[in-house]
Amino acid sequence: MNITRENIDALNAVVKVDIVADDYQTKVNQLLTDYRKKADVPGFRKGHVPMGMIKKQYGKSIMIDEVNKLLQESLNKFITEEKIDILGNPLPRVQDDFNWDADKFSFEFELGLVPEFDVDLKPKKKVTEYKIIATEELLEEEVKNIQTRYGKMSPLEEVIKEANITGTFINEEKEINKKGTFLVSDLEGKKNEKKLVGAKVGDVIELETKKLFKDDHKLQHILGVSHEEIHDLDIKVTLTIEEITKTEPADLDQELFDKLFPDGSVKTSSELREKIKEDAEKQFAQQGDQQLLNAVTEHLVENTKFDLPAEFLQKWLATAGEKELTPEEAKAEFEKSEKGLRYQLIEGKVMKDNDIKLDYAELVDYAKGFIRTQMAQFGNTNPEEKELDDIAGRILQNQEEAQKLQSQLISQKLLAFYKENMSFKSKEVSYEEFIKEVYK
């Protein structure tokens, strides 16, 4: 057997594999002998069928299978040993004059090569890192929400300006069928308020989602749609009113503080506000980190220039899926996935150049931390280590779940690396300002 590589250019190569009978004949003969021992042919005792008959019936198909196995094993071994970084999979070149009856076989495979490039982590134009603070207005609003949540509720016959409304929002086209509760005071503008004030249980009100609430995130929570979708959502929904109530706010006293913090850590309204601020800014920090990682990703993709073997990748995409794509469909698929591929290559380069690794023990610890958080939400704040190990083991056996956790952990590692090795433009903003700037 002989394997050679020819570089077409920096992004494309061809590997040629020459196979002769000596490379596969011993294995073929062994398999034919095994077939002969097991063959049950009328007129012959088992194991005594003439070899000529076995060869005639099975010889060619066995030979073809063995050549294909040898070809794949040898090609994969060659790529590994030669440390050839490829994109997609090798594509066999079609040979119109190929003959399985020949004494020697020659196969050619096209390779798409990973481009060589450098990643600049010291850009002239710095990425913005947002520090999101909890404003006094936000704290005041959250205190009112807490007082309302723990207040005394009484039923009303019809909607008034101070009412809570519980009902089901429906939009068939978007497959929205969601029950939610809101305050009339949450609504944006007199027009929406006017539609609801005076309504009774059982009434069906048509509303427009655009500028329905003062805070779009209230609508996001009620309708159950994604954060990205909610800011541009402009549809009509029907609201079927199921309950109308009024809430007398709870007093800011020790009874309320103990309900919120049974450990007795809060004794004054000032301490309550400090707790709210601390919790809110922890959540804001998570959102800020995600936005920073997204911004760095966008920056690196936009500013790290390299070519891809586009023609090869389009040919590969045409045959890679269950359904073969037309050249036009393959081109469209490549254009759709190109940005993601570019970041995968950049991410891989950053991790390789800076020795950022992920081992299984780290993944197990990360999974256990995730499980521990989930269990705490259901009141189990001190699970046994064996229980965590067992659950983590089961989760990581699921390839899809394992891949998801691995991706999250890699993102954490990369974010920590970027924070340590890149300079950012720091900007302090309120949550509302953050949303306007990032999702405008």
pLDDT of residue 334: 95
pLDDT truncated to tens, each residue of the chain (440 aa)? 899 999 999 999 999 999 999 998 999 989 988 888 877 777 787 777 888 888 888 888 999 999 999 999 999 999 999 999 999 999 999 888 888 988 899 999 999 999 999 999 988 889 999 999 999 999 999 999 899 889 998 999 999 998 999 999 999 988 899 999 998 988 998 888 999 999 999 999 999 988 898 888 888 888 888 877 777 788 999 999 999 999 899 999 999 999 999 889 999 999 999 999 999 999 999 999 999 999 999 999 999 999 999 999 999 999 988 899 999 999 999 999 999 999 999 999 999 999 999 999 999 999 999 899 888 878 787 889 999 999 999 999 999 999 999 999 999 999 999 999 999 999 999 999 999 898 87
pLDDT of residue 116: 94
Helix (H, G, I), strand (E, B) or coil at 130: strand
pTM of the model: 0.72
**Do residues 18 and 104 touch, judged by C-beta distance below 8 A?**
yes
Who's near 289: CB < 8 A, 6+ residues apart? Answer: 415
Tokens for 339, please give them: 């940005």
- Which of 25, 28, 51 minimizes the C-alpha distance to 39? 51
Round to whole Å and give the CA distance between 225 and 218. 11
> If residue 370 lies in a helix (H) or strand (E), which one and from where to where?
helix 360-377
Structural domains present in the chain: 2-113 (3.30.70.1050), 152-248 (3.10.50.30), 268-438 (1.10.3120)
Angstrom CA distances, 402 to 106, 135, 152, 238, 357, stand at 41, 39, 46, 40, 16
pLDDT of residue 160: 94
One-letter identity of residue 373: T
Round to whole Å and give the CA distance between 357 and 351. 7
* DSSP line for 16-53: EEEEEHHHHHHHHHHHHHHHHHH---TTS-TT-S-HHH
Tokens for 283, please give them: 């959540």
The rounded Cα 282 to chain-centroid distance in angstroms is 23
Round to whole Å and give the CA distance between 404 and 422. 26
Tokens for 301, please give them: 């993709």
Q: How many helices (H) and strands (E) does the chain have?
A: 15, 11
**Do residues 356 and 417 touch, judged by C-beta distance below 8 A?**
yes
